[in-house]
Amino acid sequence: MSLKLLVRWIRIGLLLSCSLCVAQTPSNLQQEIAEHSRKLQQYLEEKKPDLAIPELQALIALDPTNVDARGNLGVLLFFKGDCAHATPELRAATARRPRLWHVQVLLATCERQAGDLPAARNDFETAFPHLEDKKVILQAGMELIDLYTATGDLDKAAVVVERLRGQDPANVRVLYTAYRIYTQLAGQAMLGLSMSDPDSAEMHQMVAHETLRYGDPDGAIAHYRAAIKINPKLPGIHFELAEVLNDSLKPAYKEEAVREYRLALELNPADEKAECRLGEIDAESGNISQAYKDYAKAVQLAPGDVDAQLGLAKTMILMKQQDQALPLLEQVVQLEPANDAAHFLLSKAYWQSGRKEDAKREVELYKRYKAMQDKLQALYKQMRVNPTRFDTGDVDKDRDLNGK
């Protein structure tokens, strides 16, 4: 048993003091309670839980309604590994004082170990929204997720994992759990769609996603076209097809991609992603002024869109407007510190502005994050999975790390 963890749980679970342990009783009984309370405080301060347990048991024998004594006895027994005897004490404490949320988590843990899953789930569900301690939230959340996934309640599990991700975004255990839950949810949705309407446009759209994910762009294009034939106004369909076509090396596909991006904008004039892609295509063809307009409109539609900001900054640099590009790029690296393309463009803008030391720093950051991106790309390739398209504004072409 970890004494540090035990003391921490007592601190966040209950408030134990002699004044709480002494009730309105005859003087001799009051003295007895006070003496046991004094010894209890001493043993707890000395981190001697084995000696504290008999004192708590004595206090409960003198006053069975003492919530603090019963709760703390339950906590001590729990961390001693004695859930069988801890459970009635924890249950009695939470029944008399329902807001002992952290104690209720221990009770739920004991109930789960004993196989009383309905009671454990109920106690975890009741306590979880009220928890504030980060480690307790993680413990209770993961327990609750396991209970939900065991019964197929993946929607509820997803709500819990989102809270865990919010409080600890880099926790690999939480991230893997999120991946597992969302993968199962996706599988359920795919099965449901295939059973509901296997010939629908949405079914073809879904198959296109999966086909592309496993490295078959031509198969994805065929399914996207089939979906458009069934429902040409299906939300997102023209943009998704355009993305696959635009990644192709076939000139005819490039021309079709432009048409699909424009169709996407006709159906949704607020589609900043389609504007970004048109800006990218215009920049590649040398039409910098039109690319600037495309990216500027995309930024206007979505000021926080990193792709749009990067594209606009790149056109500004090409137009010798690096001073205007700097604020955009500095904002991007604040939003996405690991964005290698942003660091590269920022180094170029700094160099052109005469800020050589800043440019050198950004070059080093670019190299570091580019190496990380390359490792991820290799991993995706090994898995035969296409990663989500990350638009860098084509900064890989003709890179000059000195910004000259």
Judge whether residue 280 has pLDDT over 70: yes
Residue 277 clears pLDDT 60, i.e. is over it: yes
Residues 6 or more apart from 70 whose CB is under 8 A from it?
56, 60, 64, 89, 92, 93, 96
Specify the range with the lowest mean pLDDT, choosing from 33-47, 133-147, 254-268: 33-47
The type of residue at 27 is S
Q: What are phi and psi of 81, to 5 degrees?
A: 90, 15
Q: Minimum mean pLDDT among 102-106, 168-172, 369-373, 390-394: which range? A: 390-394
Residue boundaries of the structural domains of the chain: 1-128, 133-196, 197-269
Instruction: Give the burial string for 341-366 (b: 16+ CB within 10 Å, else e).
Output: bbbbbbbbbbbbeebeebbbebbebb
Query: How far is Cα 219 from Cα 222, in angstroms, rounded to an integer?
Result: 5
**Please, how many CA atoms are within 13 Å of residue 370, restricted to the half-sphere of its CB?**
16
Closest to 325 (Cα-Cα) out of 350, 356, 354: 350
Q: For 392-404, what is the mean pLDDT?
A: 43
pLDDT at position 144 is 96
259, containing H or E segment? helix 251-267
DSSP annotation of 24 reads S
The residues, ordered by sequence, that sit 6+ positions from 335 with a Cβ below 8 Å of its Cβ are 304, 306
Q: Above 80 in pLDDT, residue 136? A: yes
Using alpha carbons, select from 278, 284, 251 the residue that is nearest to residue 262: 278
Answer yes or no: is pLDDT of 7 > 90.
no
> Matching CATH topology for 1-128 and 197-269?
yes
Predicted model pTM: 0.68
Q: Is 70 helix (H, G, I), strand (E, B) or coil?
A: helix
Three-class secondary structure of residue 16 per DSSP: coil
* Among candidate residues 238, 245, 249, the one with its CA nearest the CA of residue 273: 238
Task: In whole angstroms, give the CA distance from residue 125 to residue 131.
Answer: 11
Element spanning 243, H or E: helix 237-246
Helix ranges (H only) for 114-250 are: 117-127, 134-150, 154-167, 172-196, 201-213, 217-230, 237-246
Q: At what angle do helices 117-127 and 134-150 cross, to 10 degrees?
A: 140
Local confidence band at 3 (pLDDT 50, 70, 90 cut-offs)? very low
**What one-letter code names the amino acid at 114?**
A
pLDDT at position 347: 93
> Which residue bears the tokens 């198959």?
207
Supply the pLDDT for residue 36. Answer: 78
pLDDT: is 97 or 172 the higher one? 172
Distance between first and last Cα of the chain? 63
At residue 387, the pLDDT reads: 52
- Is 1.10.3210.10 the CATH number for 1-128? no
Element (H, E) at 227: helix 217-230
Mean pLDDT of the chain: 86
**Average pLDDT, integer, range 67-81:** 87
CA distance 64 to 59: 8
The dotted CATH code for 197-269 is 1.25.40.10
Q: What is the pLDDT of residue 287?
A: 94
What does the block give as tokens for 283? 């920049």
Query: How many Cα atoms within 13 Å fall on the side-chain side of residue 97?
Result: 18
326, pLDDT greater than 70: yes
